[in-house]
Structure 1
Amino acid sequence: MQITLSIGSVERETGLTKDTLRVWERRYGFPQPGRDDTGERAYTIEQVDKLRLLKRLLDRGHRPGKIIAHDIETLRRLAEETPASAGVADDGVEDRQDLLHYIALCKAYRFDEMRRALSQDLLRLGMYRFVVDVIAPMNTLVGVRWASGYFSVFEEHLYTESIQVLMRNAIASIPLPSPDAVPRPRVLLTTFPQEQHGLGLLMAEAIFALEGARCISLGVQTPIEEIVKAAESQKADIVALSFAASMNGNQMAEGVRDLRARLPDAIEIWAGGACAALHRRPPPELRVLELSEIRPALGDWRSRLEPSGSA
């Protein structure tokens, strides 16, 4: 029996909206989904793999009408030849033998061995360097291989779950501030309803916690109204959002505008991730940061409190 995905699942997996998928179907003849028992569109894994590649190439400046007729191997070669968008560059990670070793372990399903080796890296490097120099670039490698079809959906999910377990355990080991300290800022971490990837949140949470911030994590796919309620009830100073490469840029921008309109002015919105639109057309309502920029950004935030005498 052939495995198929619904149009909603394809939207989540690729970052292409349902409207885009329907328009391409009419205009270009791809994708051509079948129908399930209820008459709803059903997309094959092969179609989803090609759609992921198309989304990656769109993020890098290609036009759908020029590339959509290419077969998947041609698209993979084109993806390899096209430079990454600003903010998601590979930065030489393809030459990192340590990262390639972890990729090989992942592909061989040797996840216990991978986690043990990563745990040794964590002890050797410390949390900050581990997140910035190991986990972040390795996620870039996995993302590129997932988009090109080297990793299947379930293999990418297995990788993500393994890293999430490792990161949660590492975050739990970070000492809490002393009882008489007032940890500032209070940072609420989450993603929008369309964003199901939470690894970026965990990496950001680790750095925030290391820097003495009070982290309140809602996990992923939180409705905007609930983000607002949580931010107000938890007296958050900052709402931190993560957007993966598969996040649709229009949905990201619209959600940010909606959130900014509902949040009190005093609560800032910070965001990061590999979403191309986040770096190419950053919404003015938020502050876009790389993981390595969180530490100085917190210093800047705290310095702005000093004139008012806030703790």
Structure 2
Amino acid sequence: MMLRIRTIARLTGIREATLRAWERRYGFPRPHRNESNYRVYSRDEVENVRRVAKLITEGLSVSEAIAQVRTVPVAELPVRERLEDRFWSAVMMMDADAADRVLGEAQAAMEVEPYVDTVLMPLLREMGLRLDIAREHLASALIRQRLRALLLAEDSRPEGPRVLLACPERDMHEGGLLALGLHLKRKGWRVTLLGADTPAEALRGACVQVTPDVVALSCVRRREADELRQVLQSAVEACAPAMVVVGGPGAREHLKVIFSAGAQYAETTEELVALWQQARGASNRT
């Protein structure tokens, strides 16, 4: 598919006048001409423009950025970077089928955990900076579908510890929660996923039903300290006596609040497992 300069400007954030100026001064980008003599661009050229724009934001001059992109064209990028570029290009075009095919190619080429940790989660973290709301919803839905499918495909072990996974009330971002569930399930944990926007009463009912060893809450939404304290105190009370472990960017800046509410904080799957092991060891000694 060949794209007009107006579309390229909208997709990359680089004005049409700037693109024409770059073309005159640097011979970049290099458009084709259609039958009506309008400039049209290939998807690779669109990605090159986007890469130049990114390098400029990282501090390179226009000439340095263009030279670097010319040195390593899209076709010669490492496989993972090339797949990521194709994914962003498809999302910018609102081409969900093409974007999903890219995710499928990456999955076929990698083991499960590297695929999640080095492809899906970085894409999920970057999209808020790259995309408008409509494209972010499209992209996040595709990635969450992949994560959920991987989680469901993983076999459970009936003897493992039980974890209950949820996002607190009004927190809608469950991508990190799905990745955590997958990692824990692969470590032998039994996973019960409640997902996004889970109020304290729902946590209480689920804890009564499944008696989890750990309740893990993913806080992505930014909250003021007082609001987070209230949310966590309600969760800790609802989930008692299970240990409540909190993670996510919305919690990272409020560690004192987390501890004062009676919860724990974990940055990674390994830290959550270590907290549970410490708590189990202390309980056994008692």
With normalisation by structure 2, the TM-score equals: 0.63
Name the structure 2 match of 1:35. none
**Whole-angstrom CA distance in 2 between matches of 1:197 and 1:128:** 20
CA offsets per residue over residues 146-189 of structure 1, 9 Å max, x none? xxxxx232221111211122122111221222xxx4121x1111
Indicate if the aligned counterparts of 1:127 and 1:206 stay in contact, CA closer than 8 A: no
| Cα 1:300/1:257, change in 2 over 3 Å | closer
Q: Percent identity?
A: 20
1:55-107: CA deviation from partner (whole Å, max 9, x where unpaired): xxxxxxxxxxxxxxxxxxxxxxxxx79xxxxxxxxxxxxx9554343222211
Q: 1:176 aligns with which of 148, 156, 159?
A: 156
Give 3-state SS (helix, strand or coil) of 2:168's partner: coil
> Are 1:207 and 1:295, in contact at CA under 8 Å, matched by a contact in 2?
no
1:241 to 217, 220, 226: 217
Partner of 1:160: 140
| Counterpart selection for 1:298 from 254, 273, 278 | 273
Match of 1:63 in 2: none
Corresponding position: 1:108 with 2:93: yes
Task: Encode CA deviations 1:96-142: one digit per residue, 9 max, x unaligned.
Answer: 55434322221112222222222232233322222221122111210
Q: Secondary structure at the match of 1:215?
A: strand
Any gaps of 5 or more consecutive residues in structure 1?
Answer: 1-79, 82-94, 146-150
2:266 maps to which of 286, 289, 299: 289
Unaligned runs of 5+ in 2: 1-56, 59-79
Q: Is the 8 A contact 2:124 2:143 kept in 1?
A: no
Alignment of 1:156-235 (within 5 A): 156-177=136-157, 181-184=158-161, 186-235=162-211
Partner of 2:49: none
Q: Which has the larger radius of gyration?
A: 2
- The Cα of 1:235 is off from its aligned counterpart by 0.5
Does the alignment pair 1:256 with 2:236? no
CA distance in 2, matches of 1:195, 1:300: 24
Partner deviation per Cα, 1:204-254 (whole Å, 9 max, x = no partner):
11111111111111122121122122112210111111122x432333332
Equivalenced residue count is 203
Q: In the TM superposition, what is the alpha-carbon distance from 1:304 to its structure 2 partner? A: 5.0
State whether residues 211 and 295 of structure 1, in contact with CA within 8 Å, keep that contact through their aligned partners in structure 2.
no
**Paired residue secondary structure (1:196):** coil
- Rounded Cα–Cα distance in structure 1 between residues aligned with 2:192 and 2:200: 16
Query: Quick one: structure 1 residues 100 and 270, their matched pair in 2 at CA, closer, same or farther if it must change by over 3 Å?
Result: farther
Partners of 2:264 and 2:88 in 1: CA distance: 32
CA RMSD of aligned residues (A): 2.7
Alignment-mate amino acid for residue 269 of structure 1: V
In 2, the alpha carbon distance for the partners of 1:190 and 1:113 equals 31
Higher relative contact order structure (alpha carbons within 8 Å, sequence separation ≥ 6): 1
Distance 1:256 1:308 in 2: 23
**Bigger fraction of residues in helix:** 2
Whichever residue aligns with residue 173 of structure 2, its letter is H
* Pair 174,309 (structure 1): closer, same or farther in 2 beyond 3 Å: same
> How far did residue 308 of structure 1 move?
6.6
Which residue of structure 1 aligns with residue 63 of structure 2?
A: none
**Residues 308 and 287 from structure 1, CA distance in 2 versus in 1: closer, same or farther, beyond 3 angstroms?**
closer
Distance across 2 between alignment mates of 1:304 and 1:252: 24
CA contact (8 A) 2:215 2:239 kept: no
In structure 2, what is the Cα distance between the partners aligned to 1:124 and 1:229?
41
